[in-house]
Amino acid sequence: MIKKFLPTRIIQVSILCIVSLVIIFPVFWMYASSFKPYREIFAYPSTLLPVSFTLQNILSSLLEHRFIRFMGNSLYVALTVTLVAIIIHAMAAYAFARLQFPFRDSIFMILVSTMIIPIYSVLIPRYILVNQFGWIDTYAGLIIPAIPHSFGIFALRQFFVGIPLELEEAARIDGASRIRIFISIIVPLSKTILTTLCVIFFMVNWDAFVWPLVVAVSENLKLIQVGLAGFMDLQTPQWQLLIASASLAATPNLLIFLLAQRYVVQGIKTTGLK
């Protein structure tokens, strides 16, 4: 039994190691290249680690090209959208999971079906609507349209359905209101899926590009991904600054996922089973 199991295990581990290296190597190369001077990035033969270590690329991105401002804008927008969206989505999902009202299931199906609509299809109508509200080139135009999304409501609703109804019935016998049940029972039991959605919402809004490119006109409102595109000049591409800035832009998402990966995996797995 052990002899049959060992070769299979070795093959599995070997394949996983190869796949991991293929995925990790570009990220490692990006971070290593951010500390290389321009001539060393395109040197042949290339070196994996920087020979002439320099912080000039990082400092130039942060200080000379207003990258700190771009990161601050992205952080503010991503955190605001995440916090507001998780509250609104949780309340909407609980209504679909527990409350009885006319056409509940039909409304939920229509809501879920909006996930198949690409953002490019609604870009012009969204822009016209935001323009009528006077939100062009404002934080409101960046934040408010990004809050509603059917994925969060769908995931939370699926999780809430799996919570035993007897817990709510016992609390209702003790005199708890619907709001008290939601805050004191449903939310504490849903920490895993709520954490998962917080990570997903933050990462998606941190990496947002198309909508911020359209709605944010001034330099003071540019988000980090739009700022990255500014380093690409048709005549003189600033590759060293682009690599350094991309490393800075990827760091928050990487750290957040590494810190919360256990909750993300558990939340996705639990939601899928329920």
Q: What is the dihedral of CA 110, 116, 193, 208, to 10 degrees?
A: -130
Please state, in angstroms and as integers, the Cα–Cα distance from residue 180 to each residue in 58, 113, 171, following that order: 49, 31, 9
- 128 lies in which domain range? 58-273
Total domains present in the chain: 1
Q: How many CB atoms lie within 10 A of CB 19?
A: 10
**Is 30 a member of any domain?**
no
Measured between alpha carbons, how far is 185 from 188 in angstroms, rounded to an integer? Answer: 6
Q: What confidence score (pLDDT) does residue 257 get? A: 81
What's the token pair of residue 117?
A: 């609509």
**Is 156 a member of any domain?**
yes
**Is 87 a member of any domain?**
yes
Q: What is the CA radius of gyration of the chain?
A: 23
**Is 139 a member of any domain?**
yes
The CATH number of whichever domain residue 256 belongs to comes to 1.10.3720.10
Mean pLDDT confidence for 133-159: 91
The helix/strand/coil state of 236 is coil
What's the token pair of residue 35?
A: 């500390």
pLDDT by residue (tens digit) across 10-57?
Answer: 888 889 899 989 988 888 888 888 888 878 877 777 778 888 888 888
Q: How many CB atoms lie within 10 A of CB 142?
A: 25
What's the token pair of residue 32?
A: 């290593």
pLDDT by residue (tens digit) across 185-217?
Answer: 899 988 888 988 998 899 999 988 889 988 988
**Is 10 a member of any domain?**
no
pLDDT by residue (tens digit) across 210-241?
Answer: 899 889 888 888 888 888 877 765 556 677 78
**Is 252 a member of any domain?**
yes
Write the single-letter amino acid at 132: Q
